[in-house]
Structure 1
């Protein structure tokens, strides 16, 4: 069996359609409007930050994109295909991935085994209980991903022995399993030390150029260093959009958000 290509080679090219399009998306919980008339277009390979104060609707937005919630109105297209009614597993099969604010890891397994299980879970072998062979392509892919997220020296370390920051790095590796076309990062820098945040920025900026993502982030410095465009949300609506420098210097943004408590 030929050795698998490196992650940067395996991650599939994106094509010509927009990576993600939300058109007039709203989400209501009874009389409460969590999202109202959201229109967002993200190009293939684009890295976008979605920022806003607590209750702005950011996590609800992610839940609608991933299918954890179905939008009340509007439609969502992923690389040209309408996925508005698709369940989460069908969106995953089409190359959409997500990380969560709360870690979802197997703490009694090693770093490599966690990533390997993620690779198996999005492969055709996801229902197989056979132990991997030495030349297993998915195990080699897991080793590649260990390197991508800078955990090379800890590939055999139990997750329970990792620092919190290393666990967040591992979550990114698991989201990269199976060559996704687009990733949603939900506050990956939350709880990290300044050194760990710099490591996170290096990892995100080191991803293949054709891989797009949206990042929700409380830390404005992290968000503006890894995104090329920014969407600001307020009370379930889009408040501002622009380049990082434009958003950082906008007086209305400064008044509403900078120094606020994000969630």
Structure 2
């Protein structure tokens, strides 16, 4: 395994006026890990996700991907680098079919700079879209409109779209938000399978879920890094119990 972290955050802070949403956070992520960023409401999780996903630049500090400084680069450049994002609010084209959604995502990666393509290329796009739908368990919903899919299925479709750029790093913002218990179990199983192929970092507020899912947890509190450790270490940490578990 490479000694260089796949993602490294160095002394990142983020201000909104006088409010400091993130304060001097430094953390690194090894390739192949499944990590959750957790914390109570107002802990800075969403701000941290926005900083590492390119949604907002840090007010201070750096973000590095595979040793390359990516601080402040345009969000659309992240996919080119091998970073994909899945957001808390589902972002799919509801008037298109599931297959068309994934095909659009693939075309954005493969035809951006080439207008003339042989017919065989579009056959390849169709086959790749079918493969991505199968990977997230949506092959039976291929021709359904995205707007007609259940909420959990729409989230899985968004993941399939995120996988179109074949990312090395997948960032997921509260992937089970708004899901039923059954949908949550399906998404957890999908995340486990995805983590066997790439590095996954997710932001979640469901402590019980991530305890049984991730091999590493990072706890934020008031915009600061509180604890970084294994689920067992987090479960037994007195500070976590005080600021997080005690609130549940």
Measured against the shorter chain, the TM-score band is: over 0.9
Paired with 1:152 and 1:124, the residues of 2 have a C-alpha distance of 24
1:80 aligns with 2:54: no
Greater shift in the superposed pair: 240-249 or 127-136? 127-136
1:39 aligns with 2:26: yes
Match of 1:233 among 220, 234, 237: 220
Match of 1:255 among 211, 228, 242: 242
Contact 2:6 2:66 in 1 (8 A): yes
**Helix, strand or coil: the match of 1:201?**
helix
**Greater than 4 Å deviation, 4+ residue runs:** 126-135
Give TM-score, length-normalised by structure 1: 0.87
What's the RMSD between the two structures over aligned residues?
A: 2.2
Consecutive unaligned residues in structure 2, runs of 5 or more: none
Tell me what 1:215 maps to. Answer: 202
Greater shift in the superposed pair: 233-242 or 222-231? 222-231
Cα deviations by residue, 1:124-174 (Å, 9 ceiling, x for unpaired)? 446749897586222211111111111121111111211111111111111
Cα deviations by residue, 1:208-263 (Å, 9 ceiling, x for unpaired)? 524001111122222223211000000000011110122123233123213747xx
Measured at CA, do residues 164 and 128 of structure 1 come closer, stay the same or move farther in structure 2, by a change above 3 Å?
Answer: farther
Cα deviations by residue, 1:95-135 (Å, 9 ceiling, x for unpaired)? 11111111111111111111111111122446749897586
How many pairs are equivalent? 248
Tell me what 1:183 maps to. Answer: 170
Paired with 1:224 and 1:137, the residues of 2 have a C-alpha distance of 39
Tell me what 1:204 maps to. Answer: 191
Contact 1:149 1:170 in 2 (8 A): yes
Tell me what 2:131 maps to. Answer: 144
Measured at CA, do residues 35 and 125 of structure 1 come closer, stay the same or move farther in structure 2, by a change above 3 Å?
Answer: same
Match of 2:87 among 92, 95, 100: 100
Greater shift in the superposed pair: 203-212 or 52-61? 203-212
Tell me what 1:28 maps to. Answer: 15
Consecutive unaligned residues in structure 1, runs of 5 or more: 1-13
**Helix, strand or coil: the match of 1:253?**
helix
Measured at CA, do residues 241 and 134 of structure 1 come closer, stay the same or move farther in structure 2, by a change above 3 Å?
Answer: closer
Tell me what 2:44 maps to. Answer: 57
Tell me what 1:10 maps to. Answer: none
